[in-house]
């Protein structure tokens, strides 16, 4: 698998397609259901992080 493909999976931009999931599960030595479990939290975390707003006050940082 190409590094850019894996990078897209890790960033949550895309999910592995079924043929890729089989190869990925085999490479990680896990079953398909366990792979789904492993992939689910990272995809949900990516969606939550993109919708989160910064909690830092606007006055933090160098004054202009």
At a CB cut-off of 8 Å and minimum separation 6, what does 41 contact?
Answer: none
Region for residue 43 given its phi and psi (left: phi exceeds 0; alpha: psi -120 to 50; beta: otherwise): alpha
**CA 34 to chain centroid:** 16
> What are the tens digits of pLDDT across the range 18-33?
888 999 899 989 998 9
Q: Report whether pLDDT(9) > 50.
A: yes
Q: Taking the CB of residue 6, how many other CB atoms lie within 10 A of it?
A: 13
CA–CA distance, 42 with 49 (Å, rounded to integer): 10
Confidence of residue 43 (pLDDT cuts 50, 70, 90): very low
CA–CA distance, 24 with 17 (Å, rounded to integer): 10
Q: Report whether pLDDT(52) > 90.
A: no
Where exactly are the structural domains of the chain? 16-42
pLDDT at 54: 47
């Amino acid at each position: 698998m190409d590094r850019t493909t894996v990078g897209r999976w890790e960033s949550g931009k895309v999910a592995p397609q079924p043929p890729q999931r089989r190869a990925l599960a085999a490479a990680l030595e896990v079953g398909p259901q366990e792979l789904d479990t492993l992939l689910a939290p990272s995809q949900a975390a990516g969606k939550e992080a993109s919708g989160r707003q910064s909690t830092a006050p606007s006055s933090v940082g160098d004054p202009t």
